[in-house]
Amino acid sequence: MKNLSETKFALSYINKYGSLMAQGNGYLGLRASHEEDYPGQVRGMYLAGVYNRPAGSESAELVNLPDIAGMQIELDGQLFSLQMGKIVEYERHLALGSGLLTRRIIWRDPRGRLFELNFERVVGKTRGTLIGSRVSIKSLNQSVRAVITTGIDGQQTNFGTQQLMEEKLHVAAGDFMVGHYETIESDRKIVIAAKVAPGGVITAKNRQIKSQVTFDLQPGQAAILEKIVMVSSDLDLETTNLENVGADRRLSQQKDSDVLAILESTALAKLADRDFDWLKREVEKDWAKFWVTGRVELEPKASTVNTDQLALDFASYHLEIMTPKNDPRMSVGAKGLTGEGYKGHVFWDTEIFILPYFLHHSPETAKNMLLYRYHHLQDAKEKAQQYGYSGALFPWESAFSGREETPEFAAINIRTGKRQRIASALAEHHIVADIAYAVWGYFQATRDQIFMEKYGRELLRETAEFWLSRAVWQDGHYQILDVIGPDEYTEHIDNNAYTNYLAVFNVEQAIRFNQDATDFCQRGADFLANLYLPVAGSDGIIPQDDTFLTKPQIDLEKYKQTQGKQGILLDYSRAEVIDMQILKQADLVMLFYLLPHLFPADIVAQNLSFYEERTIHDSSLSKAIHAIVACRSGDVDTAYRFFQEACLIDLGTDPHSSDDGIHAASTGAIWLAAVFGFAGVDTTDVRLHFTPRLPETWQKMSFHFWWQNEKLQVELKQGMIKLSKGSTTELEIEINGKLLTLTDREIEERI
Amino acid sequence: MKNLSETKFALSYINKYGSLMAQGNGYLGLRASHEEDYPGQVRGMYLAGVYNRPAGSESAELVNLPDIAGMQIELDGQLFSLQMGKIVEYERHLALGSGLLTRRIIWRDPRGRLFELNFERVVGKTRGTLIGSRVSIKSLNQSVRAVITTGIDGQQTNFGTQQLMEEKLHVAAGDFMVGHYETIESDRKIVIAAKVAPGGVITAKNRQIKSQVTFDLQPGQAAILEKIVMVSSDLDLETTNLENVGADRRLSQQKDSDVLAILESTALAKLADRDFDWLKREVEKDWAKFWVTGRVELEPKASTVNTDQLALDFASYHLEIMTPKNDPRMSVGAKGLTGEGYKGHVFWDTEIFILPYFLHHSPETAKNMLLYRYHHLQDAKEKAQQYGYSGALFPWESAFSGREETPEFAAINIRTGKRQRIASALAEHHIVADIAYAVWGYFQATRDQIFMEKYGRELLRETAEFWLSRAVWQDGHYQILDVIGPDEYTEHIDNNAYTNYLAVFNVEQAIRFNQDATDFCQRGADFLANLYLPVAGSDGIIPQDDTFLTKPQIDLEKYKQTQGKQGILLDYSRAEVIDMQILKQADLVMLFYLLPHLFPADIVAQNLSFYEERTIHDSSLSKAIHAIVACRSGDVDTAYRFFQEACLIDLGTDPHSSDDGIHAASTGAIWLAAVFGFAGVDTTDVRLHFTPRLPETWQKMSFHFWWQNEKLQVELKQGMIKLSKGSTTELEIEINGKLLTLTDREIEERI
């Protein structure tokens, strides 16, 4: 498997690679910051679910934990930094296959002394696990004194916002540096224990505890330092069984100091006798296991330089490290655990873009995401009530508490000098239907009756109740007024096509699974019969909302060239953008993707083209979805172009595109584009459908796909599909509309 | 006047020079951090009195304000940093005479392009004033695009501890970037307004508001950017009259947002139409005025390289910028306003080491320091009560509130792994007598009857009452048990010589000024008659405390070689150090300095020698005082050696000696050593005495000296003293014991 590699050290890319090469396990994320400090380098380590609402802020933030990756390296008193001297050789690799981050440097210092430096770093792949690093510094041509200082650095903040109180720093069990922390507002307890070998002189000051190790090196001799760390929080101690969350509060009975003491002794016990090599082997094994089924594998046409495989592996890798597997108190933030963008909040991205990958690889993990929503159903009902609605109005952004976490203000309006309010929490209500869609999708893929009975039907009904209360009777219809669709460059509009159609789908599914709730079903049927739904006009165009087609159009060429950067907001205020035919992403295209059979193919194609002309693709969610819809419309070339551009959202050359974390939803969307686009998977019917349309440069594509308790292996070539699942049960599927029955025999079909 | 200069860029000295070259005006301090970022560079800007007690901490910290000095300079997309490329020329100067900080660099970037960069920075010398900076970047051999980004950076913390909430960032009056902040706990309001010229594109994110200005330069052309800033807090709005503090709370009636709005409009009004050159001229004028009287001027022997003048000018400069002049809510912290060492807390340093300079240059300022104590007399009485004493027990460390602010823990004990408790708040009670001594000193120098009547006598009586309650009757004496003297390497000892003698002095002066308090005077007389006072044994040695002379002595040579670094604590635990004859500074020497006529000269000399052998001088307060006592003992050579070593506390070559701020008390002590040591000033009698003993290398020494409403000009040469005061009133003084009467005629005396 190819590495994600950096072959040149460039300060301007330091935070992008810090995000791209991040390591983790779904519960802990560690940015790939360099051991040594650089101006502007943002260090970051995060635990899923560990948020804190800072003083004076209205929303919780994913807590940037004390740093354990930094190391000060002094060579005869001079600080090692690649900004100085001369870099003779430089390479850094994230081995996606094994999770290992390595860096190798040959460096000539300003005094002409030559060094070889090797760095390795690894993060355990299971929850509550260890972090290891090793540094080797070889002096190539001189005797030198190398002094390495590293420990636990509690000076980290979220861009100046302090989240943690330092309860205690001390040395335990002889040579373990230990830090006890508590989040200021949310009362989470965190313990970090770290040990270096060989051991050094330990000091503590200014929220740092550090060990300083001195090596006197002859030419050719290497200083080797290993560091092993454990990070844990009280969330690791509490039960993760949904039924018990909130009820079983063993820990809350205990004194803070006792909880911290338990965490410390657990950490020290786990660290005892462990070393870097042991951890590295464990992690390699765990990643190897993951990749057996976690991957979309391509065989590109000979003689083509193909980066698609790397993008797909990058996507799988990040989907895996961003997602907590079985703790319903946690879900996936917009940047995973790779950075502080969007404060680590959970958006609709999780259900619509990230959940499908797990639904078809690890349905239990997908279920966990839905349980996260169920866990906060009461909060959602309270939000609905607060605004005078019924049912459940899930927050646009959520964190640990389930409350609405959307910040009040966004950027500064360059014209007025004032900060602009974010309207999403007030109007971007489609998230309610998106969650319902995901509940339906989970059932569709798993037939998990127990889930539907215990959680799903209630989620469907409460979300549907919201829509029933949200619609108003006007001009002989129910109408859904004053919303924001997925396209956030259009605000406060009426009868948004995406929202209205998804609301219908939501209510339909709620009725389907709540037949015993007669009153609800009657009201639901009335809603379905009377909700106004935008339809195609004589020109074939479905209006995105009631007023969109009446707005002026402008030439977007300039802004499309810098897609993803929201450059239009430098020329126009948000209010002005809203009043023009300018889309961040296209609501209709999103709707076509989710409900592919709602409109005839020609209407889909026509609207795809009409809206694309008006879409800047400033949203990272836009292109991969366009790829899928274009592919389904038979335009594979356009689809492939969109796909490749989608792959560049994180992996492109823009040095700052991913500074504050990778685009979590985009990694899910890359996988969606491959599987739901080119492989032509359709999961909306009772049977699984394949309508494959491989890009011309892909000779072969294969992947694993969970479907209704079966683990399918899918292999596609130009003109051929091969399917197997290894179990004897019968499974009906359709290939290009042809019905086939799959058992434990491999099926090969010409297509 | 000589500049304080840095002629070589070295990363390891970056924070030392950041402190040494700090600028300010007694109300605001700005560290001399570079415009560009470097690993480990600590930025800092502080306002006197603006403290905050962070979450989970027991003590308030001087708040590190948002940074306004930083600038990102991009040259064709590459960040300017002296770590890269080649420094062809480099010089940085703090012009002590004019307060201007300049830096000039010729720099070859890694691509071989040559640039000349000039930086200037200036801080207004009066309260509530402006900060200006100017950068000029000339491309010497290429066309280049220079992009400068700068604004207000609220990501600053106190080593990871957040003190401020960002209330608002916005753009006001067209092109002013404005930040509104509130301290989290102490509820201080701060507004920072900044403007760059030419103006750029303003953005705000992650607690930063920045303006980005782009210059396209031809070879030889310079990009010139000016920035002007105002920083103010609600402390600037409230009255500073002591009688009204606490009573007149106009502001507390107002909403926070109104206070911030007032601060903003004041700031914008002050900034309007101001530019860098205007500010620079103002500051130059103000500093020129200061130096007319603020300086000890030396004329060194021809052909000697003499750094004493620079050290004395450095001392005067820092004394001036660390000290608030007339706001009794503020005093001087242990690092002034140059860094975060000791959290900005006020110690006995202020009264004993810093106050005398102002007493004899600007008595009103000295009075302000005492009013700060008076303002918190009630808090001190409460602290006494809390521990079961009467009178006033001033806190060992104090900040804005007047409460005890000493942190609970210090460094980690390398043996036990535990953090060590700081005992000073519980036992270092001599600060009570030190404050009383300063009250006496102020009266001695000013004869300010009104002060004594309104504040002084009460301070004297309440401090004396503390001693009366602190002493216990034991073995036929009053004894003062379980204290720490100035020598902090000896803890929890009984009858500390410094403490007991100072307590006597305290009670004596209290009786003198409280003759009407009959009961108090009777109890005071009983205390004076019966307090046990250590006296010289048959060997002439006065025991520092009851047990010191019984402790084992060790060879301190090794530790004396690294004086000031507390290296002994790397070899011995604090508990072990306490049980040996090891002094951080010598209590007896300190006592000899303050009360020079308590012991005969031979006893002083004998004890000076005895204790010096046992003193590491790890305290920055030690050497200058040794210089004075040695000088008075007639050993000018030893005195001069001590003086020169004292000058190196900040100005020496140790790269990290002043990282967290200059040693405020040490600057006061340098001045004391010159004036109370070599010039031989003695202020303990009703008349001012001079017993000059100039070091051999000083041909001439002259200074101004306020004494009892007269401004004396003193000029000393080897064997000669010249005095003048310009007023016609008669003033009796003694020169080497000879009585002289000074009027407006200049007096010249052979000595």
Shortest CB distance from A414 goes to which of B36, B202, B411?
Answer: B202
- Pick A37's closest partner by Cβ from B39, B169, B206: B39
Residues of chain A with pLDDT under 70: 239-253, 413-415
Q: Could you count the other beta carbons within 10 Å of the beta carbon of residue A149?
A: 19
Q: A77 and B12: CB-CB below 8 Å? A: yes
Nearest to A171 among B170, B184, B412 (CB): B412
Point out the residue among B37, B168, B417 whose CB comes nearest to the CB of A171: B417
Question: Measured between beta carbons, which residues in chain A are less than 8 angstroms from residue B204?
Answer: 411-412, 419
Q: Is A116 a catalytic residue?
A: no
Residues whose CB falls within 8 Å of the CB of residue B156, separated by 6 or more in sequence, listed in order: A160, B43, B44, B45, B64, B65, B66, B67
Sort out which chain B residues have CB atoms less than 8 A from A36's CB and list them. 39
Show me where the domains of chain A are located. Answer: 4-237, 298-724
The shortest C-alpha distance from A415 to chain B (Å) reads 9
Which of B79, B160, B207 lies at the smallest CB-CB distance from A39?
Answer: B79
Are B3 and B95 a contacting pair, CB within 8 Å?
yes
**In this predicted model, which residue has the larger pLDDT, A254 or B288?**
B288
Which pLDDT score is estimated for B248? 42
**Nearest to B327, CA basis, from B435, B242, B446:** B242
Smallest CA–CA distance, residue A386 to chain B, in Å, is: 26
**Cβ separation B37–A39 shorter than 8 A:** yes
Asked whether the beta carbons of residue B209 and residue A412 sit closer than 8 angstroms, the reply is yes
Which residues of chain B lie closer than 8 angstroms to A57, CB-CB?
Answer: 165
The residue among B57, B81, B214, B654 with the most chain A CBs within 10 A of its CB, best to mutate, is B81
Residue of B412, B418, B653 to mutate when probing chain A, most A C-beta within 10 A: B412
Across the interface, of A56, A84, A166, the residue whose CB is closest to B165 is: A56
Q: Tell me the three state secondary structure of residue A90.
A: strand
Closest residue to A203, CB basis, from B79, B168, B412: B412
Q: Which residues contact B560 (CB under 8 A, 6 or more apart)?
A: B616, B617
Among A75, A419, A422, A569, which would you mutate to test the B interface (most chain B Cβ atoms within 10 Å of its Cβ)? A419
pLDDT of residue B174: 82
User: What are residue B152's phi and psi, to 5 degrees?
Assistant: -125, 120
A488, A491, A612, A645: the catalytic one is A488
List chain A residues with CB under 8 Å of B71: none
CA-CA distance, A686 to A675, in Å (whole number)? Answer: 18
Joined tokens for residue A98: 């094994």
* Nearest residue of chain A to residue B420 (CA atoms): A170
Just give the CATH number of A298-724: 1.50.10.10
Flag whether pLDDT at B683 surpasses 90: yes
* CA atoms of A149 and B659, how far apart (whole Å): 18
Q: Report how many Cβ contacts below 8 Å link chain A to chain B.
A: 137
CA distance B187 to chain A (A): 11
Q: What dotted CATH number matches B294-724?
A: 1.50.10.10
CATH superfamily of this structure's domain B4-237: Glycoside hydrolase, family 65, N-terminal domain (2.70.98.40)
Its pTM stands at 0.91
Tell me whether residues A184 and B37 touch, CB distance under 8 A: no
Are A201 and B12 within 8 A, CB to CB? Answer: no
Which of B488, B491, B612, B645 is catalytic? The answer is: B488
DSSP, residue by residue, A610-628: HHHTTB---STTHHHHHHH
Q: Cα distance from B132 to chain A (closest Cα, Å)?
A: 23
Residue B304: per-residue pLDDT:
72
How far is Cα B226 from Cα B236, in angstroms, rounded to an integer? 26
The answer to whether B411 contacts A204, with C-beta atoms less than 8 Å apart, is: yes
Task: Grade residue B247 by pLDDT with cuts at 50, 70 and 90.
Answer: very low
Mean pLDDT on B40-57: 94
Would you say residue B410 has pLDDT above 90? no
Question: Nearest-CA residue of chain B relative to A165?
Answer: B56
Please list every residue in chain B whose beta carbon sits closer than 8 Å to the beta carbon of residue A170: 412, 417-419
Residue A170: name the closest of A155, A188, A191, A156 by CA.
A191
User: Are the C-beta atoms of A436 and A510 separated by less than 8 Å?
Assistant: yes
For A11, nearest residue in chain B (alpha carbons): B79
Task: Determine the distance in angstroms separating the CA of B618 from the nearest CA of chain A, rounded to an integer.
Answer: 19
When CB atoms are compared, the residue of A160, A169, A419 closest to B155 is: A160
Task: Note whether B419 contacts A205, CB cutoff 8 Å.
Answer: no
CB A715 within 8 A of CB A743: no
Q: Are B160 and A160 an interchain contact pair (Cβ–Cβ within 8 Å)?
A: no
For residues B471 and A263, give the distance between their C-alpha atoms in angstroms, rounded to a whole number: 47
Residue numbers in A near B161 (CB within 8 A): 162, 207
Q: Which chain B residue's Cα is nearest to A414?
A: B202
| Among chain A residues, CA nearest to B153 | A160
Contacts of B160 in chain A (CB under 8 A): 153-157, 162, 206-207
Question: How far B384 CA sits from the closest chain A CA (Å)?
Answer: 29
Q: How far is A181 from chain B (nearest CA, A)?
A: 10
Q: Are B542 and B549 in contact (CB under 8 A)?
A: no
Greater confidence (A72 vs B422) lies with A72
**pLDDT value at position A571?**
84
Q: Spell out the SS3 assignment of A136-188.
A: EEEECCCCEEEEEEEEEECCCCECCECCEEEEEEEEECCCEEEEEEEECCCCC
CB atoms B54 and A182 under 8 Å:
no
State whether A157 and B162 contact (CB < 8 Å): yes
Contact B207 A161 (CB under 8 A): yes
pLDDT recorded at residue A247: 44
Q: Is the CB of residue B464 less than 8 Å from the CB of residue B510?
A: yes
| Chain B residues touching residue A165 (CB < 8 angstroms) | 54-57
| Distance in angstroms (rounded) separating the CA atoms of residues A708 and B689 | 101
Q: What are phi and psi of B236, to 5 degrees?
A: -75, -20
**A417/B156 touch (CB, cutoff 8 Å), yes or no:** no
Pure H helices in B4-93: 14-20
Q: How close B231 gets to chain A, by Cα (Å)?
A: 19
Q: Do B36 and A39 touch (CB under 8 A)?
A: yes
pLDDT at res. B252:
58
Residue A647 and residue A649: Cα distance in Å, rounded? 6
CA atoms of A360 and A356, how far apart (whole Å):
6
pLDDT band at B245 (very low <50, low <70, confident <90, very high): low
- SS3 assignment, position A40: coil
Q: Is A406 helix (H, G, I), strand (E, B) or coil?
A: coil
For residue range B263-286, what is the model confidence (pLDDT) as tens digits?
A: 999 999 999 989 999 999 999 999
Helix, coil or strand: residue B200: coil
